[in-house]
Structure 1
Amino acid sequence: MMKKGILYTILSVFLLVSCQQENDTVLSGEGFLSVGGIEIQSQTNTEVASRATDDITWTVELWKGEEMLRTLSAEDMQDKIELAAADDYMLKVYSPNYGAEKNWTNDEKGEPVYYKEEPFSVKQGETTGLKVQVPMITFAVSVNLSDVLGDWLQEYSFTVTSAERTVSLKDGETAYFAHSDGVSFSYELSVTNSDAEVNVLKGEWGVHEGETVNLNTVYTVVYDWNTRSLSLEK
């Protein structure tokens, strides 16, 4: 009888510990984050090819509220990431050149800069899956003079100005600019034809009502042979 009593006591303690462990798991409020991939959001103008995602080494910061918890490595994102259940998480994803757009000079054409904030929540016992599309936070202006280059057009210069920065471009080149609310840009083409006649054409965008310069957009300035004027494609 004593042996049975001891056995019952041991079983009771074991069951109590097991139940306690199960309760701890349920009440811990833990869930998981799974980052399924990071890719570039398509630009508005498809004539200018986007960079391949493989060319970019993304920085991925994991935030909870106003606190940055850590930077996620590529290895971290291959597995599920265990997190406490909460609804104020955020991933901040950006390219290595993020912030450089504020310091570009007239001699630099710039390049695409990418940034994205992706809020998410984690529920107890569940996995939150994310696939982040990161937009270009700069805008760009390119020039297309293919219809007039040749014997007729002997010499030309083309410039784009936004804020305090002015960039010179050749046919087919693209300049990137920092974006902000209310930003605008202007452009000027000076051409010298085969008769040594000089013609200066100007244009602007974002100045008049209803005109908005959008980020993640490439604007292409095209010379129209029929009207002898510049048009803007976007």
Structure 2
Amino acid sequence: MSKNILYTILSVFLLISCRQENDIVLSGEGFLSVSGIEIQAQTNTEVASRSTDDIIWTVELWKGNEMLRTLSAEDIQDKIELDVADDYVLKVYSPNYGVEKKWTNEEKGEPVYYKEVPFVVNQGETTGLKVQVPMITFAVSLDLSEVLGDWLQEYSFAVTSDERSISLQNGETAYFPHSEGISFSYQLSMTNSDSEVNVLNGEWGKMDDETVNINTMYTVVYNWSTQSLSLEK
């Protein structure tokens, strides 16, 4: 065999080898590692949030508009091998996700959690995610601690948002679905020891500088010194 033929054969093998190596790089795989899923702290820290241990999260793995699969607890504990791509999304939500759209006036509701996390998988690398899932509902509670007792004989309180009206007692909380531009109003009717009736009203979210946010607790407080309602968040 002549040297020219030998060089030609070697060149062909080298070319094939380079193309195969390049194909491996372009169509290779990487890994996803979910180091933890936890509840994102609410804006009002006085509100008791559920423990992460109490929630059995649903975790969906998406690529573009296609759901690849639902990840089990065992899957999350291990590295997950995935094709290289930049359009992955991890969707994490609580088992009650979606029930907020069906609440009635007789239901005070509950925290509902949801989070989408886009991520990229690179060749031979591990993408680590630690997911903090916010409450996608908002809440309103009542605090009459300054006036409860001999002076306040009777009262009724209601908070209304998006045509749903909930009656609350002192210390109770109502949860509401959130949407863009949503607002809420509230009314406190009180009868004191002199049989005087006083009706106080308030609202939030109607003014340009007022925004109702998800993952937030709004507390309606009766202020004894001003004998009026204030809103804390």
Question: TM-score, normalising length from structure 1?
Answer: 0.89
What amino acid maps onto 2:85 in structure 1?
A
What amino acid maps onto 2:170 in structure 1?
D
- Seq. identity, %: 79
Q: Deviations over 1:56-84 (max 9, x none)?
A: 01000000000000000000001000000
Say whether 1:148 aligns with 2:138: no
What amino acid maps onto 1:115 in structure 2?
Y
Residue 178 (structure 1) aligns with: 177
What amino acid maps onto 2:65 in structure 1?
E
Question: TM-score, normalising length from structure 2?
Answer: 0.90
- Report the 3-state secondary structure (helix = DSSP H, G, I; strand = E; otherwise coil) of the residue aligned with 1:181: coil
Residue 36 (structure 1) aligns with: 35
CA distance in 1, matches of 2:45, 2:188: 24
CA distance in 1, matches of 2:95, 2:127: 26
Q: Deviations over 1:166-202 (max 9, x none)?
A: 0000000000000000000000000110111111000
Residue 56 (structure 2) aligns with: 57
Say whether 1:219 aligns with 2:218: yes
CA distance in 2, matches of 1:147, 1:46: 20
Residue 137 (structure 1) aligns with: 136
- Report the 3-state secondary structure (helix = DSSP H, G, I; strand = E; otherwise coil) of the residue aligned with 1:75: helix
Q: How many corresponding residue pairs?
A: 216
CA distance in 1, matches of 2:157, 2:130: 40
Residue 193 (structure 2) aligns with: 194
The 5 Å alignment of 1:1-234 reads: 23=21, 28-234=27-233
Q: 1:146, CA displacement in angstroms?
A: 0.4
Structure 2 gaps, min length 5 = 1-13
What amino acid maps onto 1:169 in structure 2?
L
Q: Deviations over 1:76-129 (max 9, x none)?
A: 001000000000000000001101001100000000000000000000000000
Q: 1:50, CA displacement in angstroms?
A: 1.1
CA distance in 2, matches of 1:97, 1:114: 8
Q: 1:26, CA displacement in angstroms?
A: 5.1
Q: 1:27, CA displacement in angstroms?
A: 5.5
CA distance in 2, matches of 1:33, 1:75: 13
- Report the 3-state secondary structure (helix = DSSP H, G, I; strand = E; otherwise coil) of the residue aligned with 1:199: strand
Q: 1:28, CA displacement in angstroms?
A: 4.1
What amino acid maps onto 2:157 in structure 1?
F
CA distance in 1, matches of 2:192, 2:114: 43
Structure 1 gaps, min length 5 = 1-15
CA distance in 2, matches of 1:113, 1:181: 17
Q: Deviations over 1:132-187 (max 9, x none)?
A: 00000000000100000001001100100001100000000000000000000000
